[in-house]
C-alpha cells in the first residue's frame, strides 16, 4: 500500500505540472484570438470610413454641379425680370428665383455637411490606423510567444507524459480510476498531503485516530470532507525520490 500511495502522490505531481502547461497554453491562444479580432475590427472600420469618403466625394461633386446650374438659372431669371411685360410674368419669375435660391442654399448646406463628414471620416481613419499598427505589433509578439511556448512545452509535456505512463502501469486499474474520478471532481487535485493534522486539499481537521492510522500506511484513506486521497507528509517527501 505504501508503494501505491507513493505512486499516487508522484502521479499527482506529474498531473499538476501537466495541468500548468495546459493552462499556459490555454491563455495565449485566447489572447492571440482577441488581438486578431481587434485587428479585424479596425480594418473593417477603416474600410467603412473609406466607403463613406468615396460616396461623400461623389455626392459633393454632384452638389457642386447642381449649385452651378442653379446659379446660372438665377442669373438668367434676374435678367428676364427686366424684360417682363406684366405682373403675372414678373410674379412667375419671382417664384422661380425664390425656388432656385432656396435650392442653392440647401445644396450649399449639403456640400458643407459632406465636407465635414469627409474630414471626420479621415481623422477617424488616421486614429484607427495608429491603433491598428499598435494591435498588429502586439499580435505579432503574442503569436511568436505562443509558438515559442508551444515549442518549449512540447518537450516538457513529452517528458511528463512519459513519466506519467511509467507511474500508471504500476497502478491497479481500480486505484487509477478512483484517482481519476476524484481528480475530475476536485479541480485536478485527487491527492492531499496532510499538514499539521489537516487535509491539504480542503484544510479540514483530521481526527487524531485517523492520523495515527494514516502513519501506518496500511490502507488508503480519504478525507471525509472533500474525498481526496490522504497522504502523510513523510510519505509525500519520500515519494519525490521514489520513482
Ligand atoms: Zn479534504
For residue range 3-34, list pLDDT tens digits in order.
Answer: 999 999 999 999 999 998 888 777 788 899 99
The answer to whether residue 181 sits within a structural domain is: yes
The overall average pLDDT reported for the chain is: 93
**CA atoms of 23 and 14, how far apart (whole Å):** 14
* 102 and 182 share one domain: no
* 86 and 181 share one domain: no
The answer to whether residue 17 sits within a structural domain is: no
C-alpha grid cell for residue 21? Answer: 502547461
State phi, psi for 70 to the nearest 5 degrees. Answer: -65, -35
The answer to whether residue 206 sits within a structural domain is: yes
Residue 202 predicted with pLDDT over 70: yes
Q: Which domain holds residue 220?
A: 173-239
132 Cα to the center of ligand 1, angstroms? 50
Stretch among 132-136, 180-184, 208-212, 237-241 having the lowest mean pLDDT: 237-241
117 Cα to the center of ligand 1, angstroms? 66
| Whether this model's pTM surpasses 0.85 | no
For residue range 22-68, list pLDDT tens digits in order.
Answer: 887 777 888 999 999 999 999 999 999 999 999 999 999 999 999 99
113, 133, 157 - which closes a domain: 157
175 Cα to the center of ligand 1, angstroms? 18
97, 130, 157 - which closes a domain: 157
The answer to whether residue 7 sits within a structural domain is: no
* 132 and 223 share one domain: no
* 98 and 138 share one domain: yes
232 Cα to the center of ligand 1, angstroms? 13
pLDDT range class, residue 164, cuts 50, 70, 90: very high
> Cell 458643407 sits at which residue?
112
Q: What is the CATH number of the domain that holds 141?
A: 1.10.287.1700
The answer to whether residue 3 sits within a structural domain is: no
208 Cα to the center of ligand 1, angstroms? 15
* 37 and 97 share one domain: yes
State phi, psi for 47 to the nearest 5 degrees. Answer: -60, -45
**Share above pLDDT 90 across residues of the chain, in percent, rounded to a whole number:** 81
pLDDT range class, residue 243, cuts 50, 70, 90: very low
Q: Total structural domains in the chain? A: 2
The answer to whether residue 13 sits within a structural domain is: no
157, 191, 212 - which closes a domain: 157
Residues in the chain: 243
Residue 240 predicted with pLDDT over 80: no
237 Cα to the center of ligand 1, angstroms? 19
Amino acid at each position: 500500500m505504501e508503494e501505491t500511495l507513493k505512486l499516487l502522490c508522484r502521479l499527482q505531481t506529474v498531473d499538476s505540472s501537466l495541468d500548468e502547461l495546459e493552462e499556459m497554453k490555454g491563455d495565449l491562444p485566447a489572447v492571440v484570438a482577441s488581438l486578431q479580432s481587434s485587428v479585424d475590427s479596425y480594418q473593417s472600420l477603416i474600410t467603412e470610413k473609406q466607403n463613406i469618403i468615396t460616396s461623400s466625394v461623389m455626392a459633393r461633386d454632384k452638389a457642386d454641379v447642381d449649385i452651378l446650374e442653379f446659379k446660372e438659372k438665377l442669373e438668367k431669371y434676374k435678367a428676364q425680370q427686366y424684360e417682363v411685360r406684366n405682373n403675372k410674368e414678373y410674379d412667375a419669375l419671382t417664384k422661380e428665383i425664390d425656388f432656385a435660391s432656396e435650392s442653392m442654399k440647401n445644396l450649399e448646406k449639403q456640400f458643407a455637411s459632406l465636407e465635414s463628414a469627409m474630414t471626420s471620416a479621415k481623422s477617424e481613419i488616421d486614429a484607427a490606423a495608429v491603433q491598428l499598427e499598435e494591435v498588429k505589433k502586439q499580435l505579432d509578439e503574442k503569436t511568436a510567444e505562443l509558438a515559442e511556448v508551444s515549442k518549449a512545452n512540447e518537450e516538457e509535456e513529452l517528458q511528463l507524459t512519459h513519466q506519467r505512463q511509467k507511474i500508471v502501469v504500476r497502478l491497479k486499474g481500480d486505484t487509477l480510476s478512483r484517482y481519476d474520478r476524484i481528480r475530475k471532481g476536485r479541480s485536478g487535485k485527487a491527492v492531499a498531503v496532510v499538514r499539521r493534522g489537516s487535509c491539504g486539499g480542503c484544510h479540514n481537521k483530521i481526527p487524531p485516530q485517523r492520523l495515527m492510522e494514516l502513519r501506518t500506511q496500511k490502507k488508503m484513506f480519504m478525507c471525509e470532507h472533500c474525498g481526496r486521497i490522504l497522504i502523510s507528509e513523510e510519505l509525500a517527501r519520500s515519494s519525490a525520490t521514489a520513482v
